[in-house]
Amino acid sequence: MVTEANLFCSYIGEPDKARFISAMRREPVDRVPNFEVLIEDKHVEKILGRYAGNTLAIGGDPAKGAGHEGRPMYPDDYMDICNIIGQDIMSIDGGIWTPFKKHDQTGKLIQITDKSIKSKKDFESLILDGDIQIKNTLKYVGEYKDAIKRRNSKIGIMPAYGCIMQTLYEFVVGMNDFMMLAYEDIGLIKEMLDVSAQHFEKMTNALVDIGIDAIEIGDDVAFKTGLFLPPKIMKEIWVPKIEQIIKPAVNANVPVMFHSDGKVDDIVEDLINIGVNTLNPLDPYSVDYREYKKRYGKRISFSGNIDIEFPLSNGTPEDIETDVKAHMEVMKPGFGYIATCSHSMVNYIPHENFIAYINAIHKYGTY
């Protein structure tokens, strides 16, 4: 296959984790970093001219849920992508979902996805396969670090993990029953979140010890109109658990990105207070990026908001350039902006639009 890498324009400055970390901390940079949590496989294949999976996994897609796990993309493939598009840091699966498992009919230990846990007794029957998840994450981070050293590269590594609430409502309990339990048995929800938080706190400690560049905690906790649960409940049962997970990184001065889709206005102040550096992805159906820049831009940095529907999927390259330029005009001043789409670079986005998007970031993102 003929690679399309030459269609991406040149950019200022080699990929460098220092640029990304500085942007997270709202410090001066030479250009706005470009970053994608996930680039799906068809785009990867066109960029590299060979199949390499998606940027989170080979042979699976952990972002799509429990049971879709695969080993992370091979580090040389990911570094090649970063060098082509100018991305400073690699997001790898660090254990996105809490590894609650049970034995199937054959006795095999499998990740739970059937939403069958409805009571404390059901929950106590599960097995938390945490040590294996941490061991695998450290193995792959070590593999990436070795490749970076071998290639004398400045590209960084940012594991993504920690979906403590989303694991419950998508795979363990189910959304409707999760909502009901939040009112009928809040103690059980607290216990589930507590078990997850303890596990992911261990993950963060292990990553800090191995020398990670940044971490991304993801947990979708909001609709387009607001939080799934009332702010009072979220501040009581969820915010302290996220603080527990990130505290080892905050104490070690490792920057933290937090991801949630939806309208998260009611927890932004909490995220700032517990030490989150960067908010992602600024859901364009819920967040006015101009307002967020004005309200929070001196206390937290931002990543995201370029809509994967329009302009990325349904617009023209000209529409994309116009939208990226508008974002840059608002978000660049004072630093603290990382150009990122609103979700991930999915396969249904035309590849020429992905190219136009990256090129527009480099065209309008220089300081």
Exposed / middle / buried, residue 116 (Cβ in 10 Å: 0-12, 13-18, 19+): middle
Whole-number pLDDT of residue 69: 60
The full DSSP string for 255-284 is: -EEEE--S--HHHHHHHHHHT--EEE---T
- Tens digit of each residue's pLDDT (9 = 90 or more) over 83-106: 999 999 999 999 999 999 999 889
Task: Look at residue 1 and tell me whether its pLDDT is greater than 90.
Answer: no
- Tens digit of each residue's pLDDT (9 = 90 or more) over 143-188: 999 999 999 999 999 999 999 999 999 999 999 999 999 999 999 9
Strand partners, 227: 222
Whole-number pLDDT of residue 4: 72
For residues 309-325, give the mean pLDDT: 98
Domains, the chain, in order of start with CATH, read 5-93+135-159+202-213+221-364 (3.20.20.210)
Task: Look at residue 312 and tell me whether its pLDDT is greater than 80.
Answer: yes
d(CA 70, CA 160): 14
For residues 72-79, give the mean pLDDT: 97
Task: Look at residue 294 and tell me whether its pLDDT is greater than 90.
Answer: yes
For residues 260-269, give the mean pLDDT: 98
Whole-number pLDDT of residue 62: 73
Contact 66, 167 (CB under 8 A): yes
> Where is pLDDT greater, at 67 or 352?
352
Whole-number pLDDT of residue 6: 80
For residues 25-45, give the mean pLDDT: 97
Among the residue ranges 2-11, 14-23, 160-169, the one predicted with the least confidence is: 2-11
Which residues make Cβ contacts (< 8 Å) with residue 265, sequence separation at least 6?
226
Whole-number pLDDT of residue 67: 58
Question: Angle 252-56-350 (CA atoms, 0-180°, nearest 5)?
Answer: 125
Whole-number pLDDT of residue 5: 73
Residue type, 258: F
- Please provide the average confidence, as pLDDT, over all residues in the chain: 95
Task: Output phi, psi for 35, to 5 deg.
Answer: -155, 135
Whole-number pLDDT of residue 147: 98
